[in-house]
């Protein structure tokens, strides 16, 4: 399929609906129609966002979400868009959203289907009022085999990420893009506003295996585990340190924007577990942030780990459970995971010694 001419609908028909007679066609029946509805929600949100403060959606909604976080008006509005765009099509049994505490069962006045949709309707909402890049993230599972569609509850969503049948995100930047995988690679579509269509512009995205660019919120450094501090310190040491090359750092406070950059040019994104909130496994949610992003990254040749486990293998315990996230260019993610293993086995002694802390007497020889 040719970049620049294939629409999302044509891509999905060619990829899903015209599957060879293998079981795939049955396994993904209706999935293309569901993804077209998700794309319609994204187009609607894109139009809402481009109005900026003129749309009357800036500022606080004066409400608190299930996680005790203040909701922005756009958090609430975009959640409504996803629900209204997808609840009626007879393809879903239920939805889960960052902005809704419980499972949203499809109302009885609509037919129910065989898919489950988990989503973060607006990721990076702290960027809204400063006109920064934000996104939407979504994940699609099939309802468990044999489970009656009207009996779908929380347990149906608590499945490891490798069971996803599709995942994607919208990045609302200078252009609006939809990046999607249905298990056959990761592909990017750009919204052609004049015709209201997503057009294939980045087919079969591949993440470079090496990178000199990392993304982490460095203000949390004192809370990180030693393997993360070791990795970031080595990047900061640059060509004067063991990596013998300089690195670049980015932090946009929108996971979608960070992951999109990594898909476009490589890099590593880290939101590791930290001791600032020891009760929390991490900051990012497994079901509708880490899992879909990990699916896309792996389909593009990258890796996604908690530092100790492949994210797509993690078994969820709660709808809004969190995990540490380290993802991106294969060789760097492998290095960070190796550092976690060395730390856990007590093999990284030289790096955890206070002698090598930034204020120690044993600073590397900068005269070199
Ligand atoms: P919000 O959607 O609440 O702004 O959170 C965005 C996010 O979940 C993720 O997209 C960012 O990478 C991360 O949080 C930013 O976290 P910090 O605000 O701690 O940098």
Ligand 1, atom 4, lies closest to the CA of: 124
Cα 221 from Cα 229, distance rounded (Å): 7
* Helix/strand/coil percentages in the chain, nearest 5: 40, 25, 40
What is the model's pLDDT at position 22? 47
DSSP assignment of 277-297: STTSS-SEEIIIIIHHHHHHH
> What domains can you pick out in the chain, each with its CATH number?
8-202 (3.30.540.10), 213-349 (3.40.190.80)
What is the model's pLDDT at position 65? 78
Atom of ligand 1 at shortest range from CA of 122: 2
pTM of the model: 0.92
Any atom of ligand 1 within 6 Å of the Cβ of 253? yes
Per the CB < 8 A criterion, the answer to whether 31 and 165 are in contact is: yes
Cα 269 from Cα 328, distance rounded (Å): 6
225 assigned ligand-binding residue: no
| Residue 60: φ, ψ to 5° | -85, 145
Contacts 24+ apart (CB under 8 A), 352-359: 352/226, 352/230, 358/233
Cα 157 from Cα 98, distance rounded (Å): 13
DSSP assignment of 62-84: EEE-TTSPEEEHHHHHHHHHHHH
Pocket test for ligand 1, best of 75, 254, 272 (most atoms within 8 A of CB): 254
101 assigned ligand-binding residue: no
What is the model's pLDDT at position 19? 62
Name residues whose C-beta falls within 8 Å of residue 171's C-beta, 6 or more positions apart in sequence. 133, 135, 177, 179, 256, 257, 260
Cα 59 from Cα 202, distance rounded (Å): 34
Any atom of ligand 1 within 6 Å of the Cβ of 257? no
What is the model's pLDDT at position 28? 75
Ligand 1 centroid from CA 255, angstroms: 7
- Give the residue carrying structure tokens 């010694």: 353
Atom of ligand 1 at shortest range from CA of 217: 20
**Closest to 270 in 3D by CA, of 316, 221, 210:** 221
Any atom of ligand 1 within 6 Å of the Cβ of 284? yes
What is the model's pLDDT at position 358? 53
Atom of ligand 1 at shortest range from CA of 220: 19
- Give the residues of the chain that fall short of pLDDT 50: 20-22, 368
Any atom of ligand 1 within 6 Å of the Cβ of 217? yes
Pocket test for ligand 1, best of 125, 255, 292 (most atoms within 8 A of CB): 255
pLDDT in tens, 330-357: 999 999 999 999 999 999 866 655 555 5
Query: What angle, rounded to 10 degrees, do the helices at 31-50 and 73-86 form?
Result: 150
Ligand 1 centroid from CA 232, angstroms: 19
Pocket test for ligand 1, best of 71, 120, 124 (most atoms within 8 A of CB): 124
**Closest to 131 in 3D by CA, of 251, 252, 255:** 252
Query: In a 3-state reduction of DSSP, which class is residue 353?
Result: coil
Give CA angle at 174 (169, 176), nearest 5°: 30
| Residue 81: φ, ψ to 5° | -60, -50
Give CA angle at 28 (27, 32), nearest 5°: 175
Exposed e or buried b per residue across 217-234, where buried means at least 16 C-beta atoms within 10 angstroms of its C-beta: eeebeeebbbbbbbbbbb
Cα 143 from Cα 118, distance rounded (Å): 12
Cα 39 from Cα 168, distance rounded (Å): 10
Any atom of ligand 1 within 6 Å of the Cβ of 124? yes
Ligand 1 centroid from CA 251, angstroms: 10
Atom of ligand 1 at shortest range from CA of 256: 10
123 assigned ligand-binding residue: yes
Beta strands in the chain (DSSP E): 60-64, 70-72, 92-97, 104-105, 115-123, 134-142, 166-172, 176-181, 187-192, 197-202, 213-215, 248-250, 268-271, 284-285, 303-305, 322-323, 325-328
| Residues facing 135 on adjacent strands | 123, 171
Name residues whose C-beta falls within 8 Å of residue 41's C-beta, 6 or more positions apart in sequence. 81, 82, 85, 86, 136
Any atom of ligand 1 within 6 Å of the Cβ of 126? yes
């Amino acid at each position: 399929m040719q970049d620049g001419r294939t629409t999302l609908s044509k891509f999905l028909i060619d990829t899903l609906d015209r599957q060879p007679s293998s079981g795939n066609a049955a396994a993904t029946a209706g999935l293309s129609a569901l993804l077209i509805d998700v794309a319609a929600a994204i187009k609607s949100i894109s139009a809402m966002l481009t109005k900026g403060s003129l749309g009357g959606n800036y500022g606080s909604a004066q409400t608190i979400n299930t996680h005790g976080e203040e909701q922005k008006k756009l958090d609430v509005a975009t959640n409504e868009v996803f629900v209204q765009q997808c609840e009626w099509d007879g393809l879903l049994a239920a939805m889960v959203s960052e902005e809704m505490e419980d499972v949203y069962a499809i109302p009885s006045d609509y037919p129910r289907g065989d898919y489950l949709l988990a989503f973060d309707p607006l990721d990076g909402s702290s960027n809204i009022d400063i006109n920064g890049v934000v996104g939407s993230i979504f994940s699609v599972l099939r309802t468990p085999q044999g489970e009656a569609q009207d009996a779908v509850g929380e347990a149906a969503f608590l499945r490891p990420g490798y069971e996803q049948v599709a995942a994607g995100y919208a990045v609302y930047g200078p252009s609006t893009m939809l990046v999607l995988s249905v298990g056959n690679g990761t592909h990017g579509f750009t919204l052609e506003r004049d015709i209201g269509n997503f057009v294939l512009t980045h087919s079969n995205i591949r993440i470079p295996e090496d990178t000199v660019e990392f993304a982490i919120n460095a203000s949390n450094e004192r809370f990180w585990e030693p393997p993360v501090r070791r990795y970031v310190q080595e990047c900061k040491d640059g060509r004067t340190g063991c990596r013998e090359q300089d690195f670049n750092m980015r932090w946009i406070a929108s996971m979608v924007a960070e992951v999109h950059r990594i898909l476009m040019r490589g890099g590593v994104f880290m939101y590791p577990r930290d001791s600032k909130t020891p009760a929390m496994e991490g900051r990012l949610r497994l079901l509708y942030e880490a899992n879909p992003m990990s699916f896309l990254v792996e389909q593009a040749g990258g890796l996604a780990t908690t530092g100790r486990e492949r994210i797509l293998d993690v078994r969820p315990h709660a709808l809004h459970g969190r995990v540490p996230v380290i993802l991106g260019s294969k060789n760097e993610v492998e290095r960070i995971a190796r550092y976690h293993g060395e730390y856990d086995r007590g093999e990284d002694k030289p790096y955890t010694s206070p002698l090598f802390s930034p204020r120690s007497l044993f600073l590397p020889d900068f005269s070199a």
